[in-house]
Amino acid sequence: MKRKPLLIAVVGPTAIGKTALAIQLAKHFKTVIISADSRQFYKEMSIGTAVPSQEELAEATHYFIQHKSIHDSYSVGDFERDTLGLLDTLFLEHKVVIMVGGSGMYVDAVVNGMDTFPEVDPKIREFLNKQLADHGIEGLQKQLSELDPVHFQKVDIHNPQRVIRALEVCLASGQPYSSFLNKHTTTRAFDTLYMGLEAPREVVYDRINTRVDVMIQSGLVEEVKSLLPYRNTNALQTVGYRELFAYFNEQSSLEEAIEEIKKNTRRFAKRQFTWFKRNPQIQWFSYPVQLDEVTSYLKERMS
């Protein structure tokens, strides 16, 4: 029987070194990298999303880095479709392709397929968006906690897009959003091996704090200032941008905004780790990991 091509998914919390490991693996296998970091899709957002540097991008071919505008609508379903189409082409030339990113939902969509949800009347979405604009996200968070306490514990409740998406399904169907999850079985034309990076919490948090300081020094405040006219777009409702929008709106000092970025990024990392820990297929490696440790494991699994 002909062996299926292999997708190696490098996952883990933010700031733990996934990009560096993915580049090492791409060079080892003489292959390319697919980014599954949904924050790095947008060309207007560079500093606050820790887009790979020009030097890193030159070391290995990357796909889905800054290929969209914040004004474009781009969903996890779009990413699944685009990635599967690209993989069909890439696997003609490469036996192995690397996928890297901390956006668990996007990684899962490529590997396992999308869950099926009921159609939602656009008026429900409009109503929820108006609630958000008029009263903020707190009321929507409370409503989701009542309608779907299970999903409320897992979703990024500070991401308006995710909260509204869950709520609109609850309201349209009369059932919890979580009741529609993990109901599908999908067969892919490739095999997948997961590599997870982990570290003690204090190490991850220290790396996050350092990364935020570097972002500020690199011009994050100026980047966010240039995006002020578009602050209500979905892509910008994310950590590193929301907090500085509040600063420009005179709701906090710059020092407070920076501390909020660090705090919210730490929370984000914790949610990422919780998401990935649910997946028993992930082989975990402790940061900093040596390449030969990873390649030895892969060689054993691929033989």
Phi/psi of residue 264, nearest 5 degrees: -70, -30
Do 175 and 190 share a domain, yes or no? no
The verdict on residue 274 lying in a domain is yes
Do 130 and 279 share a domain, yes or no? no
User: What's the CA gap between 191 and 4, in Å, rounded?
Assistant: 6
- Domain boundary, last residue among 131, 162, 180: 180
The verdict on residue 160 lying in a domain is yes
Q: Which domain CATH number covers 135?
A: 1.10.20.140
Q: Verify cis geometry, omega within 30 degrees of 0, for the bond prior to 160.
A: no
Banded model confidence at residue 118, pLDDT cuts 50, 70, 90: confident
Under DSSP, the state recorded for 115 is: P
The domain tally of the chain equals: 2
Contacts 24+ apart (CB under 8 A), 235-239: 235/41, 235/42, 235/44, 235/45, 235/70, 236/45, 236/70, 237/159, 237/160, 237/161, 238/39, 238/48, 238/49, 238/159, 239/158, 239/264, 239/265, 239/268
Question: What's the confidence (pLDDT) of residue 253?
Answer: 97
- Interval 19-24 mean pLDDT: 97
Banded model confidence at residue 207, pLDDT cuts 50, 70, 90: very high
Q: Does 19 carry a binding-site annotation? A: yes
Question: What's the confidence (pLDDT) of residue 1?
Answer: 65
Residue 73 has pLDDT above 70, yes or no: yes
Do 255 and 195 share a domain, yes or no? yes
The verdict on residue 174 lying in a domain is yes
Question: What's the confidence (pLDDT) of residue 294?
Answer: 96
Residue 67 has pLDDT above 90, yes or no: yes
- Runs of H (alpha helix) within 115-232: 122-135, 138-147, 149-152, 160-173, 201-218, 220-226
- Domain boundary, last residue among 130, 161, 180: 180
Two tokens at 145? 């906690």
Question: Of the given ranges (160-164, 193-197, 279-283), which has the lowest mean pLDDT?
Answer: 160-164
Question: What's the confidence (pLDDT) of residue 185?
Answer: 62
Two tokens at 182? 């993990």
Do 110 and 161 share a domain, yes or no? no
Q: For the chain, what is the mean pLDDT?
A: 93
The verdict on residue 241 lying in a domain is yes
Residue 119 has pLDDT above 80, yes or no: yes
What is the secondary structure of 230-297 as a DSSP string?
GTTSGGG-STTTHHHHHHHTTSS-HHHHHHHHHHHHHHHHHHHHHHHHT-TTEEEEESSPPHHHHHHH
Q: Does 240 carry a binding-site annotation? A: no
- Interval 26-50 mean pLDDT: 97
Q: Does 124 carry a binding-site annotation? A: no
Regarding pTM above 0.85, the answer is no
Question: What's the confidence (pLDDT) of residue 289?
Answer: 92
Q: Does 20 carry a binding-site annotation? A: no
Residue 84 has pLDDT above 80, yes or no: yes
Banded model confidence at residue 297, pLDDT cuts 50, 70, 90: very high
- Return the H-helix or E-strand segment holding 35: strand 33-35
Q: Does 27 carry a binding-site annotation? A: no
Do 199 and 241 share a domain, yes or no? yes
The verdict on residue 1 lying in a domain is no
From residue 177, how far is each of 28, 149, 161, 173, 244 by CA, in Å?
41, 10, 14, 9, 31
Q: Does 77 carry a binding-site annotation? A: no
- Most confidently modeled range among 107-121, 134-148, 161-175, 203-217: 203-217
Decide: residue 125, CB within 10 A, 0-12 exposed, 13-18 middle, 19+ buried.
middle
Residues 6+ apart with CB under 8 A from 178: 148, 150, 151, 154
| 282-286 β-sheet, strand order | 62-63, 33-35, 96-100, 6-11, 191-198, 282-286
Residue 101 has pLDDT above 80, yes or no: yes
Residue 116 vs residue 39, higher pLDDT: 39
Question: What's the confidence (pLDDT) of residue 184?
Answer: 65
- Domain boundary, last residue among 180, 198, 229: 180
Do 236 and 297 share a domain, yes or no? yes
Q: Does 17 carry a binding-site annotation? A: yes
Contact between residue 285 and residue 293 where contact means Cβ atoms under 8 Å apart: yes
Residue 147 has pLDDT above 90, yes or no: yes
Q: Which domain CATH number covers 238?
A: 3.40.50.300
Two tokens at 283? 């082989």
Rounded to the nearest 10 degrees, the angle between the axes of helix 104-112 and helix 76-90 is 50
Q: Does 225 carry a binding-site annotation? A: no
Phi/psi of residue 284, nearest 5 degrees: -95, 140
Do 176 and 34 share a domain, yes or no? no
Under DSSP, the state recorded for 180 is: G
- Interval 44-60 mean pLDDT: 96
Question: Of the given ranges (102-111, 119-128, 234-243, 255-264), which has the lowest mean pLDDT?
Answer: 119-128
**Structural domain boundaries, residue 24:** 6-114+184-302
Residue labelled with tokens 């349209």: 172
